[in-house]
Amino acid sequence: MENPDFSDFTIAVVGLGLIGGSYAMALKRLNPHEICGIDMDEETVEKALRAGVIDRGCGNPEGILKDADLVVIALYPEEAVKFIKSNIGSFKKDVVITDTCGIKTGVIEEVHSFLPGDMDFIGGHPMAGKETKGLQSADSDLFRDANYIITPVERNREKNVELICKVVKAIGCKNVVSITPEEHDRIISFTSQLPHVIAVSLINSGNAGGDIALFTGGSFKDVTRVAAINSILWSQLFTLNSDNLIDEIERFEENIKTIKKAIRTEDKNALEDIFNCAALNKRKMMVLNERA
Amino acid sequence: MENPDFSDFTIAVVGLGLIGGSYAMALKRLNPHEICGIDMDEETVEKALRAGVIDRGCGNPEGILKDADLVVIALYPEEAVKFIKSNIGSFKKDVVITDTCGIKTGVIEEVHSFLPGDMDFIGGHPMAGKETKGLQSADSDLFRDANYIITPVERNREKNVELICKVVKAIGCKNVVSITPEEHDRIISFTSQLPHVIAVSLINSGNAGGDIALFTGGSFKDVTRVAAINSILWSQLFTLNSDNLIDEIERFEENIKTIKKAIRTEDKNALEDIFNCAALNKRKMMVLNERA
C-alpha cells in the first residue's frame, strides 16, 4: 500500500509515555507538516525534542492545540477526559481527536457531553503494549502488525473515521476493527482485563516465600507475566468497566468451581472432559489468531 | 565440571515420549556402556533406534531390565507404578530406579510398598517440558539449565542419591534441589498445578466465540499458553495431589474475591493496594528467578 500524504497535517500527541512516544515516532515517518508533543513533564518533552521524536513540544498545550488538525491523546482514561475538557477552548474548531484508552464507553460518553458539534472525537484502542512504561520504552515499531480497535459512534463524521483508519494503517497496524464502544468494553473485559485480574491474584496468592523460585516452570511465569501492573492506570480501567468485568470474573469463578469439584471427588472422567474441552478451545483460538 | 564416567553403566529409559526421548538423547552424550529404550509402541522404538537415540530397544522390558544398572521411568504416574510392579522380577537386584513424575508422595509410597530391599527407587522431577508431546518433540537440550527436583527418602542409599545427582547435572541441569516428597507436592500444587487450573478455566470461560481473536493481546495468550493440556496425564497429576491443589485453588479464589469486591465497590485505593502488592511480589520473584 502506498503511504498516504500527511504533508498538510499538523499532528499533536498528548502524553509522551510508552504509547504516545511510540505513536509520535511512528507518525514522524509519515512526514506530516509538523508533529508536536505535549507532556506535563518538561524533561520528557526535552528528551523527545532532543531524540527528534517531535518537531515541537511544550508542557503548555495552548500554543500547539491551536495548530493541530489531529490530536492523539495517550493519557490514562480519567486524565484524557480532563485534558480535553480543560483545554476545550484551545482546539481548532474542526479538530479530529482520538484517544488510546483501554476502555471506551465511559470516556466517549463523557467527552461527548461537552464537545462542541464541529469537533470530532473518535475512540481508539491499539492492541499493543509492553510491561515497561515511559518514553524510554517507546518504539517506532510498537504498532507493527498489531490489531487496532476503533469505536466510532453516530455523531462521528465518515471522513474523520476514514482519516483515523488511514493513520492507524500507516503507523503499521495490520487490522483495524470497528465496533461499538459497548461491544469493545464487553469483549476487552474478557480478553484483557480478566487475564490481568488472574495474574495479580495468582502472584498475591503465594505464601511459600522465597523457596518457590526453584520450582516455577514456564506456566507460572506465563500466567504472572503482566502482574507488575501499573496500579493507577489499571484501577481506572477496572472501575470504569466494572459491570462487564464482574460478569467475566464470575463466569471464570464458575469454571474454577467446576474443576475444583472434579478434583475434590477425584473424578478423572470429568477432569478429562474439562481438559479436552480446553484443548479444543485453545486450538480453535490459535487457528483464529493465525487468521487475524 | 568434568563429565563423570558412565562407561560401566547400562541405562534403560522407559517411555520414549518427550521426557524419556529427551533423557535418552542427553544420556547418549555421556557415553554410557549402553543406552536402552523401552516403549510399548513398537514404532516409537524403531524410530528411536533409527535416529540413534538408543543403542537397543524393545517393547518387551525383560531382556533390557536384566542388564540395566539405572532405569529412568518416564511414564505417567499411574503407569510408572504399574510398570515397576509388573516387571519387578526382571530388574537387576541392586538396580537404581528413578522416575520423572510431576507428583511424588503417592508414587513413592506405592512403589516402596512392594520394592525389594536391595532395589532403590529415588523420585525425581525435571522442571522442563514443552506444549507438544512424543518422541518427535524430544530434544537433547531439553534439560539445559533447568531445575531438577529430587525427593530422596530415608530408605534411599546415599551413593545412589549421589548417582542421580551426577546424572542430572551431566544431562545439563543447573540446579538439583533435594526436598521431601510431601514438600514437593505442596509447592508444585501452587507453582505448576494451579497455573494449569487457571489456564484451562480461562480458555473454557470464553463465550464470545470467534470474534474475540482480534482482541486478544499478550496477556490472554500468556495465561492460556498451557491450556491445550494432556488430559490423561493431568487428570492423574491433579487427583494424586488433590488435597494440596484444593488448598491452593481456595487461596487463589480468596484473592479473586478480594479484587472483585474492590471492583464492585469501585474502590480505587483498595485496587491500587492490591496492584502495588502484586508488582512487589512479581519483582521479588523475578530477582529470585534470576538467582535460581
Are domains A10-179 and A184-291 of this chain identical in fold? no
Give the one of A205, A236, A242 whose C-beta lies nearest to B255's C-beta: A205
Distance CA B58, CA B38 (A): 5
Residues 6 or more apart whose Cβ sits within 8 Å of residue A110: A81
Contacts of B275 in chain A (CB under 8 A): 200, 229-231, 234-235
pTM for this predicted structure: 0.90
Mean local confidence (pLDDT), A198-226? 83
Biggest CA-to-CA distance, chain B: 69
The phi and psi torsions of A172 (rounded to 5 degrees) equal: 120, -5
Give the one of A210, A219, A272 whose C-beta lies nearest to B232's C-beta: A272
pLDDT confidence of residue B120: 98
Hey, are the CB atoms on B281 and A227 less than 8 Å from each other? Answer: yes
Pseudo-torsion of CA A89, A91, A95, A101, nearest 10°?
Answer: -100
Angle subtended by helix axes B242-264 and A242-264, to nearest 10 = 170
Q: Is the pLDDT of residue A35 over 90?
A: yes
Distance CA A13, CA A2 (A): 24
- State the smallest CA–CA distance between residue A106 and chain B in angstroms: 14
Contacts of B272 in chain A (CB under 8 A): 231-232, 235
Hey, are the CB atoms on B177 and A214 less than 8 Å from each other? Answer: yes
Mean local confidence (pLDDT), A193-201? 96
Class level of CATH domain B184-291: mainly alpha
Q: Is the pLDDT of residue A167 over 70?
A: yes
Regarding the domain delimited by B10-179, which CATH topology (the fold level of the hierarchy) does it fall under?
Rossmann fold (3.40.50)
pLDDT confidence of residue B258: 97
Hey, are the CB atoms on B199 and A223 less than 8 Å from each other? Answer: yes
Q: Where do the structural domains in chain A lie, given as residue ranges?
A: 10-179, 184-291
Provide the 10 A C-beta neighbour count for residue A183.
Answer: 16
- State the smallest CA–CA distance between residue B91 and chain A in angstroms: 31
B259, A200 contact by CB (below 8 A): yes
pLDDT confidence of residue A210: 56
From B99, B93, B127, B102, select the one nearest B111 (Cα to Cα). Answer: B99
End-to-end CA distance of chain A: 19
pLDDT per position as a tens digit, A47-106: 999 999 999 998 889 999 999 999 999 999 999 999 999 999 999 999 999 999 999 999
pLDDT confidence of residue B292: 61
How high does pLDDT run on average in chain A?
93
pLDDT confidence of residue A34: 97
pLDDT confidence of residue B285: 81
pLDDT confidence of residue B218: 81
Provide the 10 A C-beta neighbour count for residue A270.
Answer: 16
Beta bridge partners of B148: B126, B176
- Residues with pLDDT less than 70, chain B: 1-3, 207-211, 289, 291-292
- State the smallest CA–CA distance between residue B246 and chain A in angstroms: 7
- Give the SS3 label for residue A31: coil
Q: Is the pLDDT of residue A252 over 70?
A: yes
Hey, are the CB atoms on B289 and A213 less than 8 Å from each other? Answer: yes
Hey, are the CB atoms on B203 and A129 less than 8 Å from each other? Answer: no
Hey, are the CB atoms on B215 and A187 less than 8 Å from each other? Answer: yes
Distance CA A69, CA A9 (A): 6
Contacts of B266 in chain A (CB under 8 A): 239, 242
C-alpha cell at B143: 534439560
Distance CA B9, CA A139 (A): 55
Give the one of A147, A239, A263 whose C-beta lies nearest to B266's C-beta: A239
Q: Is the pLDDT of residue A273 over 90?
A: yes
Hey, are the CB atoms on A239 and B271 less than 8 Å from each other? Answer: yes
From A247, A233, A242, select the one nearest A106 (Cα to Cα). Answer: A242
From A144, A146, A143, A105, select the one nearest A123 (Cα to Cα). Answer: A105
pLDDT confidence of residue A156: 98
Contacts of B278 in chain A (CB under 8 A): 199-200, 203-204, 227-229
- State the smallest CA–CA distance between residue B94 and chain A in angstroms: 31
Hey, are the CB atoms on B235 and A268 less than 8 Å from each other? Answer: yes
Contacts of B182 in chain A (CB under 8 A): none
- Give the SS3 label for residue A286: helix
Hey, are the CB atoms on B232 and A266 less than 8 Å from each other? Answer: no
Hey, are the CB atoms on B190 and A204 less than 8 Å from each other? Answer: no
> How open is the CA angle A13-A15-A16, to the nearest 5 degrees?
85
Q: Which residues of B97-116 are buried (b: 16+ CB within 10 A; e: fewer)?
A: bbbbbbbbbbbbebbeeebe
- State the smallest CA–CA distance between residue B287 and chain A in angstroms: 9
Contacts of A255 in chain B (CB under 8 A): 200-202, 204-205
Provide the 10 A C-beta neighbour count for residue B289.
Answer: 14
Hey, are the CB atoms on A202 and B195 less than 8 Å from each other? Answer: yes
Q: Is the pLDDT of residue A291 over 90?
A: no
pLDDT confidence of residue B68: 98
pLDDT confidence of residue B208: 52
Grade residue A255 by pLDDT with cuts at 50, 70 and 90.
very high
User: DSSP letter string over A98-136?
Assistant: EE--S--HHHHHHHHHH--TTSEEEEEEES---SS-SGG
C-alpha cell at B84: 515397576
Distance CA A20, CA A26 (A): 10
A65, A90 contact by CB (below 8 A): yes
Biggest CA-to-CA distance, chain A: 69
Residue A37 CA, chain-centre distance (Å), reads 19
Contacts of B128 in chain A (CB under 8 A): 217
